[in-house]
Amino acid sequence: MTFTDFDVDLFLRDYWQKKPLLIRNPWGRWTNPVEPDELAGLACEDGIESRLIGRADGRWTVEHGPLPEDRFGHMGDQPWTLLVQAVDMHVSDVAALIAPFRFVPNWRIDDVMVSYATDGGGVGAHYDQYDVFLIQGLGRRRWRVGQHCDADTPLLVQEDLRLLAAFEQTDEWVLEPGDILYVPPGVAHDGVAVGDDCMTYSVGFRAPARSELVEQFCAHVVGEMEEDDRYADPDLTVQANPGEIGAAALARLQAMVMEAVSDPAAFARWFGGYSSDRKYPELDFRPEESIGAEDVRELVQDGVALCRNPASRFAFVAQGAGAVTLFVDGQDYGCSGAATVLAEQLSAADRLVVDPALLADATAVALIVTLFNEGSVSFDPED
């Protein structure tokens, strides 16, 4: 799917992380990518994160999946909403929704959550700490946007839901199939289904908290340290009061800490692996049968396309002199020459017809073999 009427530069300049924007159907042709019954089926499967949210007598209820197959036949007349996380990992047509938003770097993209709601269904007024594009798939939904919120904004006492205690509406729109609402981080919003069979696709983005980065990177640094790397003061002299922590000692101690965390190359290596970790690492996508270099050469010569696993995350960091470090699912691969070309192409495209000329480079072939056997890529069976 692609946009036919959307000014990316204008959007990034005037709206991205600044203010909400209603985008009336920008698609060449909008087609709803997953049917309600298929979404309900996913919510019944183990290993797929889902929630069923209802409201009756002024109280919200939340059930976590996997849900019993007959659960949807016993919902009654009260409004309800089904939310299924990371549907792009399981439905290729949903994964295709991400492509038009790749004007944002891939490492910032999280997943596509899909919701289905009956008339009046919603999840209440709330705010997110990340950017989100809300694409109307089926039916209609009334969206209200409101005030800017932060950690001090009062919330309702409600288990499993972070609902606002007060909502100050600033705008309201009814979205039709294909319409998109962009909501920046911290902006209050509330969506309610208008009629049955309301489906919304939420393309969400990652925004690591400073506390998360510091905690995770420091834990990594500590894990790499040697036990005998300790404070030393061979130039120690007698001080006037032994109870004082002297300025020289404090400076030396702080320098020990800062030196350990201030290496840009070390941070890049860590963050590449950290940001490319799979959202659900417990899922095993390795193929039943592994392949070798000759298999890869034959498939590439036949023009069979190489496809990234939608559950995998690809990114690279330039190393200079034509070399890059490729990060895939938390693992790093040093690449140069033809392997660099391949790494950059795989990081940019979900589907790639590999240039047969790359087969002359054994490291490029070996990279494909490794990524295939790890389940990060596959050869398109339709080719």
Could you say which architecture CATH assigns to the domain 293-379? 3-Layer(aba) Sandwich (3.40)
> What pLDDT does 85 receive?
97
User: Pick from 194, 180, 48: which is nearest to 120 by CA?
Assistant: 194
Tell me the domain boundaries of the chain: 8-205, 210-262, 293-379
Alpha-carbon distance of 190 to 122, in angstroms, equals 8
Residue 125 has pLDDT above 90, yes or no: yes
> What pLDDT does 320 receive?
86
> What pLDDT does 77 receive?
82
* pLDDT per residue as tens digits for the range 62-77: 999 999 988 887 777 8
* pLDDT per residue as tens digits for the range 329-372: 999 999 999 999 999 999 999 999 999 999 999 999 999 999 99
For all residues of the chain together, what is the average pLDDT? 94
Alpha-carbon distance of 58 to 63, in angstroms, equals 17
Q: The pTM is what?
A: 0.92
Residue 383 has pLDDT above 90, yes or no: no
* pLDDT per residue as tens digits for the range 190-206: 999 999 999 999 999 99
* pLDDT per residue as tens digits for the range 128-155: 999 999 999 999 999 999 999 999 999 9
Rounded to an integer, the average pLDDT of 105-132 is 96
> What pLDDT does 332 receive?
97
User: Pick from 194, 25, 70: which is nearest to 122 by CA?
Assistant: 194
Residue 56 has pLDDT above 90, yes or no: no
User: Pick from 201, 204, 184, 189: which is nearest to 15 by CA?
Assistant: 184
Alpha-carbon distance of 278 to 336, in angstroms, equals 25
Q: How many helices (H) and strands (E) does the chain have?
A: 9, 15
Give me the CATH topology for the region 8-205.
Answer: Jelly Rolls (2.60.120)
Quick check: helix, strand or coil at residue 327? strand
Residue 84 has φ and ψ, to the nearest 5°, of -125, 125
84 bridge partner residues: 50, 114
Sign of the dihedral defined by the CA atoms of residues 97, 98, 100, 101, in that order: positive
Residue 245 has pLDDT above 90, yes or no: yes
The token duo for 325 is 């470090």
8-205 and 293-379 in the same fold: no
* pLDDT per residue as tens digits for the range 149-181: 999 999 998 878 999 999 999 999 999 999 999
Q: What is the DSSP letter of 319?
A: E
Residue 59: band (very low, low, confident or very high) from pLDDT cuts 50, 70, 90: confident
The token duo for 371 is 């990524």
State the alpha helices, DSSP H only, in 124-278.
210-224, 247-261, 264-276
Quick check: helix, strand or coil at residue 345? helix
